Amino acid sequence: MTPKEVLEMAKEKGARVVDLRFMDFPGVWQHFTVPLSELDESSFEDGYGFDGSSIRGWQPIHASDMLVVPDATTAKMDPFFEVPTLVLIGNIVDPITRESYTRDPRNIAQKAEAYLKRSGIGDVAYFGPEAEFFIFDDIRFASENNHAFYAIDSNEGIWNSGRDECPNLGYKPRHKEGYFPVPPMDKYQDMRTEMLLTLEDLGIDVECQHHEVATAGQAEIDMVFKPLLQMGDQLIWFKYVLKNVANKYNHTVTFMPKPLFDDNGTGMHTHISIWKEGKPLFAGDKYAGVSQEALYAIGGILKHTKALCAITNPTTNSYKRLVPGFEAPVNLAYSSRNRSAAIRIPMYSASPKAKRIEFRTPDPSCNGYIAFSAMLMAVIDGIENKIDPGDPLDKDIYGLPPEELAEIPSAPGSLEEALEALKEDHEFLLKGDVFTKDVIDTWIEYKTENEVNAVKLRPHPHEFFLYFDI
């Protein structure tokens, strides 16, 4: 869509205002609104000014002025605002140099796509994330210097099987039994369908929606794979739509990886493929019907997984899900069909077009633009350097004897460990100036100061249960 076509669309849809949106460094959508009269064709070059020092992880106070320059191809009508509102996603630009801002996540994604083309390996990288989430009825939490707590509730939670609900009708999924019972056990079918249809109305292709394994409303809606930048845009629309549809029903959605103890966490298994001149690069005659390039790509991801986790699993809570000995994909191995491996080669279809690799370790707390870019850089590194992934592991990893399991490397056990790995292993991200040293250093510093240390310094409620009477 061109700027002229955007203006025609705004007129046709009766838009009164324009909402300008961009992603902050940690991964939360930001916005401000201007009258439609402030939008003309020159706006797509001149941009709109805002205070960059107020955005997390961005500019210092003495160099705060920044521009957001709308991308005409992203134009959509907001499905939730009362006033007809045109939404444009923007790129962040320095107002003096007019250069793209290195800490803008969308800029990183654009540079990753450009680097793939310059490498000669392929011309498009497709990503298909399976972003799981929870639908809750009520969430309360506090973290003060003298107390801390959280309390989650859900009409679907098995812990409410004995609650007086006047009447309690039962039908609450037991722990790890939420995959895929029909209603009335599944209480959120209509809500998820509304989420799916709202996404489709926005032009976002969806494959399916369903209840997930955990009790208390765990769910999944899968989008059809798209090129990296487009999927980065879609993932943030995805989160926005799901949260707002749930809010309409007086429910809340969270993409927090591990909100419940002793039940399944929330992952974001990510399907990756590279195409060149209209042909799938990952289809071939090697193991599980993949190409040698696909195996090298797997080798790149496995080599860099510990560092990747600092970006693809970027919260302290992420590592409550990535715990060895359970079903989480912490063991750095690959396999066809075997879902206990960090990388799986899906075998649903024999078509060469369906050949891809599935990186199962990431979770949906990540910033999609940055996470997909980092994954692509690991894939490119694997192919360029012919990194051998070793032999596949088709056994049940969790049934292996301890001595055999000890030989399989594991994902980091904490965000702090992942950030340390990123400190030591980030040269592959710097290629083509996709990630800059400033981006890596700022990411590590921000995460360490605002999240790792903030959690490390606070007593945990369970510590009182364990230790108060010592």
- Residue 393 contacts residue 422 (beta carbons within 8 Å): no
The answer to whether 212 is annotated as binding is yes
Catalytic residue among 51, 138, 201, 404: 51
The answer to whether 384 is annotated as binding is no
Catalytic (active site) residue 156: no
Catalytic residue among 19, 24, 130, 194: 130
The answer to whether 358 is annotated as binding is yes
The answer to whether 273 is annotated as binding is yes
The answer to whether 339 is annotated as binding is yes
What distances in angstroms separate CA 88 from CA 43, 48, 98, 146, 254, one per listed residue?
Answer: 11, 12, 19, 44, 24
The answer to whether 207 is annotated as binding is yes
DSSP 314-371: -STTHHHH--TTSSS--B--EEES-TTSSEEE--S---GGG--EEE-S--TTS-HHHH
Catalytic (active site) residue 220: yes
The answer to whether 220 is annotated as binding is yes
Catalytic residue among 16, 339, 394, 425: 339
Which amino acid is it at 19? Answer: D
Report the alpha-carbon distance of residue 320 to residue 71 in Å, rounded: 38
Catalytic residue among 132, 186, 293, 363: 132
Q: C-alpha angle 456/462/465, rounded to 5°?
A: 135
Catalytic residue among 137, 156, 186, 212: 212
Catalytic residue among 24, 137, 156, 220: 220
The answer to whether 132 is annotated as binding is yes
Catalytic (active site) residue 269: yes
The answer to whether 382 is annotated as binding is no
Report the alpha-carbon distance of residue 313 to residue 318 in Å, rounded: 6
Catalytic (active site) residue 51: yes
Residue 447's CB is within 10 A of a number of other CB atoms, namely 23
The answer to whether 272 is annotated as binding is yes
Catalytic residue among 21, 269, 356, 426: 269
Catalytic (active site) residue 339: yes
What distances in angstroms separate CA 222 from CA 227, 254, 268, 280, one per listed residue?
Answer: 15, 16, 10, 21
Catalytic (active site) residue 360: yes
The answer to whether 353 is annotated as binding is yes
Return all residues near 414 (Cβ < 8 A) that are at least 6 apart. Answer: 316, 319, 452
Catalytic residue among 137, 360, 363, 451: 360
- Cite the annotated binding site for Mg(2+) by residue number: 130, 132, 212, 220, 269, 358
Residues within the annotated binding site for ATP? 207, 271-273, 339, 353
* Sequence ranges of the binding site for L-glutamate: 264-265, 321, 327, 339, 360
Residues with active-site annotation: 51, 130, 132, 212, 220, 269, 339, 358, 360
Annotated binding-site positions: 130, 132, 207, 212, 220, 264-265, 269, 271-273, 321, 327, 339, 353, 358, 360
